[in-house]
Amino acid sequence: MDSGMRKITWAAQYMPVLRAIERRFTADRPLEGQRIAMALHVEAKTANLVRTLAAGGAEVEITGCNPLSTQDDVALALDAMDGIRCYARHACSVEEYYAAIDRVLDARPTVTIDDGMDLIHRLHTARRELLSGVIGGCEETTTGIHRLRAMAAEGKLEFPVIAVNDTPMKRSFDNVHGTGESALASLMITTNVLIAGKRLVVAGYGYCGRGLARKAHGMGARVCVTEVDPRRALEAHMDGFDVLPMDEAARIGDLFVTTTGNAHVIGERQFGLLKDGAILSNAGHFNVEIDLERLHKIADAVEQRDGIETFVLGDRRVHVLAEGRLVNLATPKGMGHPIEVMDLSFALQALSAEYIAKHGRELTGGVYEVPAAIDETVACEKLASLGIAIDSLTDEQARYMSAWDVGT
Ligand code: NAI
């Protein structure tokens, strides 16, 4: 077995929910006749989603959604499978990245699965001739959904898209635990620095930020949070973290992780305030949270190490991980989210793709929630795989919960 396939089978053993879906898909073939276009991080967990969709009868074409997150051996293994074509290559140029997106779209998809909305953006701009053949799509991440909602608000989204990110079974596990654990793991393995006792600045106290803050706190870091939303700032304060503006955090932070989905959260003013040896990283979707263009312009020199760029600013050195791209995926040893977390997220993707294939033609263009039944199916399947039983409502309790005239 080659190395890509070994990685894929390693991940498969910890993905019981997706395996159960694959068994049903193999028997029922609910995706027969569908052509699914995907732009996701091409690594072993994603490969198991691709295999599940192919087992359901779909032809699948996939490329990456980030030039640094592709694992070439997994891409090769996928490309060798029946009914699957993979165009992703690690560290490809921007031109090659978009050429691969076009090759995926050349297959005239009926269903799209995105992580960051690149396929849908391309379909609505340079490849509009393909729009009429698309039944609908699924979107994996917060940033992609922000962009889709902006498109929908302007009446420009021409097919239905399921916001897979926005469902409890995704956000509460993938964003919180997945990003929390994997961003810290990647930061540690890339730099080899100690977390305990360090002042770690988390920018953005959303789902990703709060997972990261809690886990870093658990490892002994002195965590502080920056926010722009007063409710989330208050939540961070009451969860026990220091909340302060980035200008103040920049002066005291040893390690920084941005998780805002916003641009230039650490910019020129803060570069002037950072301590010597500060380590900057980003866990938000795009590489825009740290203003690297500016940092390159003001640096006296830049030194390269594996996964680390060091910017010399006078007598200070500031280090940036993974070129400011997703730190949990784009460092040389970044593995992305833990397997069990992606088992849940990709189970949601597989069932949402099945839903779109079946019901997409009944829906108009816009962003749709994951149907509650899908969310619940994934939770039940996961609990069953863990051997965890829960209570169910008695008839009396069900009546009580739906009554309005019973009180004290
Ligand atoms: P969220 O919307 O729950 O949280 C973002 C938070 O950042 C909000 O509380 C917002 O008020 C805050 N924020 C916005 N601008 C800010 C600024 N200038 N300074 C400080 N705070 C600011 O979003 P979520 O789910 O936490 O996702 C965040 C980003 O992480 C998105 O880009 C998402 O696509 C990405 N993501 C990355 C993953 C990974 O594997 N690294 C996994 C899941 C999501």
Alpha carbon nearest to ligand 1 atom 12, residue: 204
User: Ligand 1: which atom is nearest the Cα of residue 210?
Assistant: 26
Q: Within this chain, do residues 112 and 38 fall inside the same structural domain, yes or no?
A: yes
Instruction: Classify residue 299: in a domain, yes or no.
Output: yes
Q: Within this chain, do residues 65 and 157 fall inside the same structural domain, yes or no?
A: yes
Q: In what order do the strands lie in the sheet with 35-39?
A: 84-86, 59-63, 35-39, 111-114, 136-139, 160-163, 366-368
Closest CA to 175 of 373, 335, 39, 345: 345
Q: Within this chain, do residues 318 and 341 fall inside the same structural domain, yes or no?
A: no
Taken in order 168, 171, 176, 179, the sign of the CA dihedral is positive
Each residue's pLDDT, cut to its tens digit, for the chain (408 residues) gives: 799 999 999 999 999 999 999 999 999 999 999 999 999 999 999 999 999 999 999 999 999 998 888 999 999 999 999 999 999 999 999 999 999 999 999 999 999 999 999 999 999 999 999 999 999 999 999 999 999 999 999 999 999 999 999 999 999 999 999 999 999 999 999 999 999 999 999 999 999 999 999 999 999 999 999 999 999 999 999 999 999 999 999 999 999 999 999 999 999 999 999 999 999 999 999 999 999 999 999 999 999 999 999 999 999 999 999 999 999 999 999 889 999 999 999 999 999 999 999 999 999 999 999 999 999 999 999 999 999 999 999 999 999 999 988 776
- How far, in whole angstroms, is CA 67 from its chain's centroid? 14
Evaluate: CB of 141 within 6 angstroms of ligand 1.
yes
Evaluate: CB of 261 within 6 angstroms of ligand 1.
yes
DSSP for 159-200, please give it. SEEEEGGGSHHHIIIIIIIIHHHHHHHHHHHHH----TT-EE
Distance 262 CA to ligand 1 centre (A): 7
Instruction: Classify residue 31: in a domain, yes or no.
Output: yes
Alpha carbon nearest to ligand 1 atom 41, residue: 283
Closest CA to 181 of 342, 66, 48, 44: 342
Q: Within this chain, do residues 185 and 315 fall inside the same structural domain, yes or no?
A: yes
For ligand 1, pick from 117, 171, 258, 285 the residue to mutate: most ligand atoms within 8 Å of CB.
285
- The total of other beta-carbon atoms located within 10 Å of residue 395's CB is 7
For 13-141, where are the alpha helices, taking DSSP H only?
16-28, 44-55, 72-79, 94-105, 118-124
Instruction: Give yes or no for a contact between 73 and 2, defined as CB atoms under 8 angstroms apart.
Output: yes
Distance 219 CA to ligand 1 centre (A): 22
Distance 299 CA to ligand 1 centre (A): 28
Q: Within this chain, do residues 378 and 325 fall inside the same structural domain, yes or no?
A: no
User: Ligand 1: which atom is nearest the Cα of residue 285?
Assistant: 32
Q: Within this chain, do residues 183 and 313 fall inside the same structural domain, yes or no?
A: yes
Domain that holds residue 187: 177-330
Evaluate: CB of 63 within 6 angstroms of ligand 1.
no
Distance 233 CA to ligand 1 centre (A): 13
Distance 206 CA to ligand 1 centre (A): 6
Using DSSP's 3-state secondary structure scheme, residue 389 falls into coil
Total domains, the chain? 2
Instruction: Classify residue 391: in a domain, yes or no.
Output: no
Q: Which of 282, 301, 330 is the last residue of a domain?
A: 330
For ligand 1, pick from 175, 215, 342 the residue to mutate: most ligand atoms within 8 Å of CB.
175
**Biggest CA-to-CA distance, the chain:** 73
For 13-55, where are the alpha helices, taking DSSP H only?
16-28, 44-55
